[in-house]
């Protein structure tokens, strides 16, 4: 027998910034890091929603943020992707506003003029950062000495997404506009698997948008979720923790294997942002701001997964969504309004809304 609780979110607060919001990250539960298209970063206190710290004068849109805990500091250090660079900042600096001259590390990861960094990801050992580029290249930064490694296996188009597989600090998955998801071991330099998302053809033979991989995330249970430009969602389970009767770590992660995955259409537009609030709770957003919450329920008897929609709403005031973030209590959405100004929406779970749904297996 499987039980699942339906969730409901209520809009708690809407904040506005001069430029569109491009990326989000939690420092710890009380701090929210917000990157913008005008080359700035703000750190908000989540209890007061006031800005604690800021960085300005970066060398391009802030496209991704990874926070790292440092002993003796409440404010996390931040690795920030901006333009062609990846830089590290200590946010507990006495300065309220920092600039590029205050960076502890300032790494230029590409020399191509039209190439920029899209996403950063930290491995489970907190020893390496992965980054992706418009050129399709995936790179690795060793945090011990800030050395940079470009992987030979790359995408044939923009690579916008990357993530390390939990408990497998050498293995990562990347998603590109070439419609491929690629799983590889960066130490061995070998490809483990790949999955192409085929074009979706409507009844009558008309194709929709190309199935570019527009978003991707991995849960702590090693479940991969990837969204496409034509509104489809891929979920790959790979026989990993918590989603099967298996109790030991598998020798191989098979999350891209069609036999271990689910590919379904869930939206009419591009799925631009995905996040796991918990290992079995996935939240998605379309480009136009339709937010949907799903429970992932594993049916052990059938060996399959049920995708249960429990919340769906449209973000009023947002013309387009760029980024999405969630924890076990709240949901944060970032994008811009009709004037091109940044919009940050903070949603909170409504504790009074709690419906138990019971299924027998």
In a domain, 173, yes or no: no
In a domain, 257, yes or no: yes
**Average pLDDT of 47-76?**
95
> How many angstroms separate the CA atoms of 326 and 66, rounded?
15
Quote the pTM value: 0.91
Give the pLDDT confidence score for residue 360 in this predicted structure: 27
- Return d(Cα 183, Cα 234) in angstroms, integer: 15
- The CATH code of the domain that includes 309 is 2.130.10.10
User: What is the residue-averaged pLDDT of the chain?
Assistant: 90
Could you tell me which residues are beta bridge partners of residue 346?
A: 13, 332
Q: Which region among 9-13, 285-289, 337-341 has the lowest average model confidence (pLDDT)?
A: 9-13
Kindly state whether residue 197 falls inside one of the protein's structural domains. Answer: no
In total, the chain counts a number of residues equal to 361
User: What is the rounded distance in angstroms from the CA atom of residue 297 to the CA atom of residue 280?
Assistant: 7
**Banded pLDDT at 356 (limits 50, 70, 90):** very low
CB 29 within 8 A of CB 326: no
Write phi, then psi, for 109 (nearest 5 degrees). -105, -5
d(CA 171, CA 253) in angstroms, rounded, equals 9
Distance of alpha carbon 131 from alpha carbon 191, whole angstroms: 17
d(CA 164, CA 87): 20
pLDDT given for residue 353 in this prediction: 56
Whether 245 is in a domain gets the answer yes
Strand order in the sheet with 9-17: 9-17, 342-349, 330-336, 320-326
C-alpha to C-alpha distances, 272 to 166, 213, 295, 335, 338, nearest whole angstrom: 23, 9, 19, 11, 18
First and final C-alpha spacing in the chain = 5
Give tens-digit pLDDT for 155-188. Answer: 999 999 999 999 999 999 999 999 999 999 999 9
3-state secondary structure of 102: helix
- Which two structure tokens, joined as six digits, stand for 338? 């009709």
Distances (CA, A) of 297 to 5, 75, 245, 356, 358: 11, 36, 13, 14, 11
Q: What's the pLDDT band for 300 if we cut at 50, 70, 90?
A: low
In a domain, 217, yes or no: yes
Domain that holds residue 257: 1-17+207-361
Residue 352 belongs to some domain of the structure? yes
Confirm whether 62 is domain-assigned: no
What's the confidence (pLDDT) of residue 326? 94
Distances (CA, A) of 167 to 116, 125, 160, 195, 325: 29, 8, 23, 21, 22
Distance from chain centroid for Cα 146: 23
What is the bridge-based pairing of β-strands 97-98 and 50-55? parallel
Which band of pLDDT confidence, cut at 50, 70 and 90, is reported for residue 201?
low
Tell me if 63 sits within 8 A of 116, measured CB to CB: yes
Q: Where are the beta strands (DSSP E) in 279-316?
A: 281-286, 290-299, 304-314
- Helix (H) / strand (E) containing 142: strand 138-142
Instruction: Tokens for 124, please give them.
Output: 């489970």
| Number of compact structural domains in the chain | 1
| Closest C-alpha among 350, 228, 207, 211 to residue 284 | 228
Above 90 in pLDDT, residue 42?
yes
Distance from C-alpha of 159 to C-alpha of 179, rounded to nearest angstrom? 10
* CA-to-CA separations, 175 to 131, 138, 145, 157, 217, in angstroms, rounded: 12, 10, 27, 10, 10
Q: How many CB atoms lie within 10 A of CB 302?
A: 9
Is 111 inside a domain boundary? no
201-215, 271-285, 299-313: which range is least confident on average?
201-215
pLDDT of residue 4: 41
**Res. 260 pLDDT band, cuts 50 70 90:** confident
| Strand, helix or coil for residue 260 | helix
């Amino acid at each position: 027998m499987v039980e699942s609780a339906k969730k409901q979110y209520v809009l708690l607060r809407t904040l506005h910034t001069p430029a569109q919001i491009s990326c989000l990250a939690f420092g710890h539960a009380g701090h929210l890091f917000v990157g913008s298209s005008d080359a700035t970063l703000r750190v908000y206190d989540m209890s007061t929603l006031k800005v604690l710290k800021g960085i300005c004068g970066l060398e391009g849109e802030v496209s991704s943020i990874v926070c790292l805990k440092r002993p003796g500091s409440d404010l996390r250090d931040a690795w920030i992707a901006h333009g062609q660079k990846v830089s590290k900042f200590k946010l507990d600096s006495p300065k309220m506003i920092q600039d590029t001259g205050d960076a502890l590390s300032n790494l230029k990861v590409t020399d191509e003029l039209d190439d920029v960094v899209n996403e950063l990801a930290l491995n489970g050992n907190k020893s390496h950062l992965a980054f992706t580029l418009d050129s399709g290249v995936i790179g690795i930064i060793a945090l011990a000495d800030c050395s940079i490694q470009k992987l030979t296996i790359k995408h044939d188009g923009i690579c916008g997404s990357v993530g390390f597989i939990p408990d497998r600090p050498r293995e990562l998955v990347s998603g590109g506009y070439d419609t491929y998801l690629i799983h590889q071991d960066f130490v061995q330099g070998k490809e483990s698997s790949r999955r192409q998302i085929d074009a979706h053809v409507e009844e009558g033979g008309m194709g929709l948008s190309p199935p570019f991989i527009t978003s991707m995330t991995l849960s702590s249970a090693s479940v991969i979720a990837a969204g496409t430009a034509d509104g489809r969602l891929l979920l790959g389970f790979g026989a990993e923790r918590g989603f099967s009767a298996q109790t030991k770590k598998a020798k191989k992660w098979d999350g891209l294997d069609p036999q271990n995955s689910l590919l379904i259409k869930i939206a009419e537009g591009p799925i631009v942002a995905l996040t796991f609030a918990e290992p079995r709770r996935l939240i998605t957003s379309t480009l136009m701001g339709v937010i949907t919450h799903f429970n992932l329920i594993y049916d052990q008897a059938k060996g399959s997964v049920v995708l249960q929609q429990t919340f769906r709403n449209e973000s009023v005031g947002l013309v387009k969504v760029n980024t999405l973030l969630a924890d076990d209590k709240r949901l944060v959405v970032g994008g811009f309004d009709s004037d091109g100004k940044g919009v940050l929406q903070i949603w909170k779970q409504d504790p009074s809304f709690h419906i138990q749904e019971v299924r027998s297996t």
